[in-house]
């Protein structure tokens, strides 16, 4: 279903074992390692051109190669660490009519969002987003979004639901592709965890910031 995604689909908390590693090798070593593991922000593929709105009309389905997740910051003994979690368990559809995105419905299975740490992921699933109780995060477009000819940028206004809480958000997105058979949509939205009933963990030696980013890259094929 793109955060700074102040993002809530993602709260990755470090655990005691991380503190042990940091104590042995130093927080700087852990920060460098985590930064190396953080994925790049979603972006349009180098070959993606602005979509031709005349050819793009129709219903598009989320297909293989799509992903969604979160980006957030941890502070470990004064060292800033960027963490990204992602899953390819993303489904949904997007409808384009004329020069507007008129409908969009995206669903993400939050239990499969993963980082470089099984312990962090376990905390995220069981404590932060309570995946058994709230297995999906969703985005539903609530306003038509204009697609400018020759441009890739688009603002998507809709309802983001995470942890059973729904908030209206504006997603900064880009759309590109050949417009006839394949489209790519990438974007992000900042979120504040507390807005979704999620408490950012603070374990003393490691603290998760109160905000983050939900981010996504959707590969769309025409239905």
**103 HSE (CA, 13 A, CB side):** 11
∠ at Cα 165 (161, 170), nearest 5°?
45
User: Domain range spanning residue 215?
Assistant: 16-222
pTM of model > 0.75: yes
Assign residue 74 the CATH number of its domain: 2.40.128.110
Residues 78-93 have pLDDT tens digits of: 788 899 999 999 999 9
User: Do the Cβ atoms of 96 and 104 come closer than 8 Å?
Assistant: no
Radius of gyration of the chain (CA): 18
The answer to whether residue 11 is domain-embedded is: no
Residues 92-112 have pLDDT tens digits of: 999 999 889 999 999 999 999
Q: Based on the structure, what is the number of domains in the chain?
A: 1
The answer to whether residue 8 is domain-embedded is: no
β-bridge pairing 145-146 and 153-162: unpaired
The answer to whether residue 124 is domain-embedded is: yes
The answer to whether residue 9 is domain-embedded is: no
């Amino acid at each position: 279903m793109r955060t700074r995604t102040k993002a809530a689909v993602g709260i990755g908390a470090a655990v005691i074992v991380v503190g042990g590693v940091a104590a042995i090798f130093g927080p700087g070593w852990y920060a460098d390692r985590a930064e190396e593991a953080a994925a790049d922000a979603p972006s349009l593929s180098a070959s993606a051109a602005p979509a031709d709105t005349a050819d793009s009309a129709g219903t598009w389905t989320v297909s293989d190669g799509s992903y969604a997740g979160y980006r957030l910051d941890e502070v470990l003994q004064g060292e800033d660490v960027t963490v990204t979690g992602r899953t390819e368990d993303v489904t949904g559809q997007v409808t384009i009519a004329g020069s507007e995105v008129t409908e969009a419905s995206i669903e993400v299975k939050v239990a499969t969002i993963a980082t470089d740490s099984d312990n962090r992921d376990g905390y995220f699933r069981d404590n932060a987003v309570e995946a058994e109780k709230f297995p999906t995060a969703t985005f539903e477009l609530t306003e038509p979004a204009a697609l400018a000819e020759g441009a890739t940028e688009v603002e998507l206004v809709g309802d983001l639901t995470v942890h059973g809480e729904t908030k209206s958000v504006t997603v900064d997105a880009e759309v590109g592709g050949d417009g006839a058979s394949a489209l790519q949509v990438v974007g992000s939205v900042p979120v504040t965890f507390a807005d979704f009933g999620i408490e950012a963990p603070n374990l003393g030696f490691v603290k998760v910031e109160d905000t983050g980013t939900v981010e996504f890259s959707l590969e769309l094929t025409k239905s």
